[in-house]
Amino acid sequence: MSDPSKNRATFAPTLAPPRTTDRGPIQLVGIWGRYTGETAPTGIPILWHRFAQHIGNIPDQVPHVAYGLSFMGGKDFEYLAGVEVTEASNLPEGWSRVNVPAQRYAIFTHPGHVSQIRATIEAVGTQWLPVSKYRPAKIPARAPNFFERYGPAFDPVAMSGDTEIWFPIES
């Protein structure tokens, strides 16, 4: 069996037209990590492995959906593996709460393995955004630049399926 991460450079997604929606606010809880482009491919899966064991056992969790939030800043970026909750009190030590403000989003389906998600994110910025009628929304302080949404049909064993990338946009 081939290693999908070795095919990352050759994976060139064909983006289907996004759907747009207004959504939020969203309250999430989870675990943080700080990464670079070089450390993310191994560090983010380790973070998800630490976090995944808690999914389904988090008080007030909205079921069947998980999120990966990206907070860009220079060469490094922060990433939160988390879930939506209706109430965020009594968090375990080392966990954080993030309130994502209400915004309009362009939502793209990621068609492949999660190791190839970076190619889909880059395609949005290089293929779709320059020819769309939108521009990236101004991001409030401590709000993610974009996020991944893993829906009920995501297969954690195959690491694919039901994966969307949500980009805040404005006209």
Closest C-alpha among 151, 152, 130 to residue 68: 151
Domain spans of the chain?
A: 22-111+130-170
What is the model's pLDDT at position 100?
96
Distance CA 89, CA 27 (A): 11
DSSP assignment letter at 161 = S
Q: CB–CB of 110/153 below 8 Å?
A: no
Cα–Cα–Cα angle for 133, 18, 55, nearest 5°? Answer: 130
pLDDT tens-digit map of 60-82: 999 999 999 999 988 899 999 99
On whether the CB atoms of residues 106 and 169 are closer than 8 A, the answer is yes
pLDDT of residue 135: 95
Residue range 136-165: mean pLDDT, rounded: 92
The C-alpha angle 82, 5, 164, rounded to 5 degrees, equals 40
**DSSP per residue over 79-106, as a string?**
EEEEEEBS---SPPTT-EEEEEPPEEEE
Question: Does residue 9 carry a pLDDT above 70?
Answer: no
Which of the pair, 157 or 17, is modelled with greater confidence? Answer: 17
Q: What is the pLDDT of residues 20-41, one digit of tens each?
A: 999 989 999 999 999 998 999 9
Predicted pLDDT at 104: 97
Q: Under CATH, what is the fold of the domain 22-111+130-170?
A: Multidrug-efflux Transporter 1 Regulator Bmrr; Chain A (3.20.80)
85-142 pLDDT, tens digit each: 999 888 888 899 999 999 999 999 998 899 999 999 999 999 999 999 999 999 988 8
Query: In this structure, what are the phi and psi dihedrals at residue 80, rounded to the nearest 5 degrees?
Result: -120, 125
